[in-house]
A and B are shown apart, each in its own frame.
Chain A
Amino acid sequence: MNASNIAVLQREKARRRPGAGIGKAMTTPGQIVSLVVLVLPLLVALYMSFTDWTPTRGSLFQASFVGFDNYSDLLIYDTRFLQAVLRTLLISVICLALEFSFGLGLAVLFMREFRGKSLLFSAFLTPMMILPVVVGYIFWMLFQSNGPINQMLEFVFGAKAAVEWFRSAPFAVTAVIITEVWHWTPLFFLILLSGLNSIPENPVRAAVILGASPGQIFWRVVLPMLKPVIIVAFVIRSMEIIKLFDEVFMLTRGGPGSSTETISLYIYKLAFNDFQLAYGAAAAFLVLLGSLVLVHLMLAPVRDQLLDGGR
């Protein structure tokens, strides 16, 4: 039986199910909104990416069609774009590794019993509730040359330890990473802790009876059972960090030079500072393609859990 036959049968079945009409009516508004406000702009952007349109040249539909020129320019000649991609990947990998380690460590500490646990739990979640722009602004203040971070460095390592954080590329990137890790470690902590709490006790008890050491229990029993939760956390965070914009905008605006420019910041500058809208749209589709592949690879083992809402 081919695919269209199956589709027809499924449609028949849906029609026969009681209340199918109501279900359709209920989901329609959401579908219309998504279609008009998300899919339509995407199609416009896709069309635009194959033209040489800029706002100074009149309407989009008068622009000439240039095929894949924008795409090949980006991939072959645009070192600033390629650097932004690599930089975003580098920042993402470092941030995710640090956020995961700190988050897991903290979550393991919370498996112990201590006083004031619920208060501390709330305190540790606070950073992720603060809006990214404000987080960026807070750390912009902290990293000022006469700010508290340099003050502490001088106090611990002597007067020469102060750093001009936003004047050199490696330090500026470090500042971005520190900001991002502070902001989003709580999300890993939250997700991993809820994973740890839902681990069944019997396998752990069995391991204890069989004489496993606490280390063995953690690495061989607990961690494998956490795997789906860990993947969900990584997927969710990668999807967000690949779009990293707000914090960098507030901290460095991509500077010094373009040394902290992320993909989103570069596309933003292309579109809204240089008005190279078509070129920016092409860059965005390359990024979309790349992140689709990445996320779907990561998602493969837990797709059903994520998409069915944990049923």
Chain B
Amino acid sequence: MQRKPLTLVQTILMAMALMVVLFPIFWIVMTSIKPPTDWNASPAIWVPSKPTFVNFKTLFDPDAIREYGVGGVSQSATKAVLGSVLASVVSTCISVIIGLFSAIGISRYANGSKATPLIILSGRMFPPAAIAVPFVIMFSALNLIDSYSGLIAIYVAVTLPFSTWMLKSFVDDLPREVEEAAMLDGRSRIMAHLTVTIPLIKGGLFATSMFVFILNWSEFMFALVLSYSNISTIPVQLAKYVTATAGTLYGVQAALAVLAMLPLVIVGYFIQSHLARGMTFGAIKQ
């Protein structure tokens, strides 16, 4: 198709859409750098006259946060941030490694029947609130409740369909001949996969890892029902601040929200050309 330039009306529409998209992000960033007096001012203050990073400091200072503490919010966010990093990084690594082998297995040896993907898709439809119930029961029997190992096990299982299917679409893109050539050189099948297949899809491997990381970092409900006092993640901490102190902790909450979204936005820009593939289980490639 020939590419025409935008008309004036279209330019205006585009500008309006851009403002709608960016305004909420602008608002949360501005709130995170507002001094406490500006947090809940009426009328609302759009751009603070004295921007400050004090909210970010408060977030990690148990004494400072206790001063605002109403209804039991005396926790700094340190544990939640570390918990999020631990749970997301470890479960992403495990999920991608298992997914990588499944992907090669399915793509190259057509293992599993036609029904397998349908079962996986059906699993994605099940309301997580309901999967959480048997998890809580099983995990209390296994002493895994309120522990990172339990959370990581769930994250691996939940993201495995994504990592498998996204990686499979990358392996599918690779012609079989490259491995067969390596095998003619006398390498075994396993060595051919390890030394040829995997290095050739390392771009896809990176994109998949980042995509799975986004999913894990964003997860909320399982963390909510499986964490009591030992473990915490950023989304859970954010929800706790809202319940306990609605209306009083704006700036600090906003600071935590900014910290939570920053890594995802950066990672997201890096892999934006693969986002469609990840979201659609590899059905749409760009």
- A interface residues with partner B (beta carbon < 8 Å): 14, 17-20, 22-27, 29-31, 33-34, 36-38, 40-42, 44-45, 48, 60, 102, 105-106, 109, 111-114, 120-135, 137-142, 144, 146-148, 151, 182, 186-187, 190-191, 194-195, 197, 199, 201, 204, 229, 232-233, 236, 239, 242-243, 245-246, 249-250, 263-265, 267-268, 271-272, 277, 280-281, 283-285, 287-288, 291-292, 295, 302, 305-307, 309-311
- Known contacts A134-B257, A141-B31; A111 and B220 CB within 8 A of each other: no
Which of B6, B123, B239, B286 lies in contact with A112, CB distance below 8 A? Answer: B6
Q: What 1/0 mask marks residues of chain B from 109 to 126 whose CB sits below 8 Å from any chain A CB? A: 111101001101111111
Q: Which residues of A contact B132 (CB under 8 A)?
A: 268, 271-272
B232-280 interface (Cβ within 8 A of A): 235, 238-239, 242, 250, 253-254, 257, 260-261, 264-265, 267-269, 272, 275-276, 279-280
Interface residues on B, range: 35 or more
Residue of A nearest to B169 (CB): A309
A107: shortest Cβ distance to chain B, in Å?
12
Q: Which residues of B contact A291 (CB under 8 A)?
A: 125
B25 at the A interface (CB under 8 A): yes
Which of A147, A283, A285 lies in contact with B44, CB distance below 8 A? Answer: A147
- Known contacts A137-B242, A140-B242, A245-B221; A267 and B130 CB within 8 A of each other: yes
- Known contacts A131-B261, A242-B125; A30 and B160 CB within 8 A of each other: yes
Q: Which of B1, B41, B189 has its CB near the most chain A CB atoms (within 10 A)?
A: B1
Residue of B nearest to A145 (CB): B42
B261:A29 contact, CB within 8 angstroms: no
In the assembly, what is the distance between CA of A42 and CA of B125, in Å? 12
In the assembly, what is the distance between CA of A277 and CA of B131, in Å? 11
B27:A22 contact, CB within 8 angstroms: no
| 15 sample A-B contacts, Cβ–Cβ < 8 Å, listed by A number | A20-B111, A27-B111, A34-B123, A42-B131, A112-B5, A114-B6, A123-B18, A134-B257, A232-B280, A236-B281, A271-B130, A271-B132, A277-B137, A284-B126, A288-B125
B93 at the A interface (CB under 8 A): no
A23:B284 contact, CB within 8 angstroms: no
- Known contacts A109-B10, A133-B235; A284 and B18 CB within 8 A of each other: no
Interface-lining segment among B51-59, B67-75, B151-159, B201-209: B151-159
Q: Which residues of A contact B5 (CB under 8 A)?
A: 112-114
A111:B3 contact, CB within 8 angstroms: yes
B127:A311 contact, CB within 8 angstroms: no
- Known contacts A27-B106, A133-B218, A190-B276; A288 and B156 CB within 8 A of each other: no
Q: Which residues of A contact B43 (CB under 8 A)?
A: 146, 151
In the assembly, what is the distance between CA of A122 and CA of B28, in Å? 19
B32: shortest Cβ distance to chain A, in Å?
11
Q: Which residues of B contact A131 (CB under 8 A)?
A: 217-218, 220, 235, 260-261, 264
A99: shortest Cβ distance to chain B, in Å?
13
- Known contacts A131-B218, A132-B220, A190-B275; A30 and B125 CB within 8 A of each other: no
- B interface residues with partner A (beta carbon < 8 Å): 1, 3-6, 10-11, 13-14, 17-18, 20-25, 27-28, 31, 40-44, 46, 98-99, 101-102, 104-106, 108-112, 114, 117-118, 120-135, 137-138, 153-154, 156-158, 160-161, 164-165, 168-169, 172, 189-190, 214, 217-218, 220-221, 225, 235, 238-239, 242, 250, 253-254, 257, 260-261, 264-265, 267-269, 272, 275-276, 279-286
A125:B261 contact, CB within 8 angstroms: no
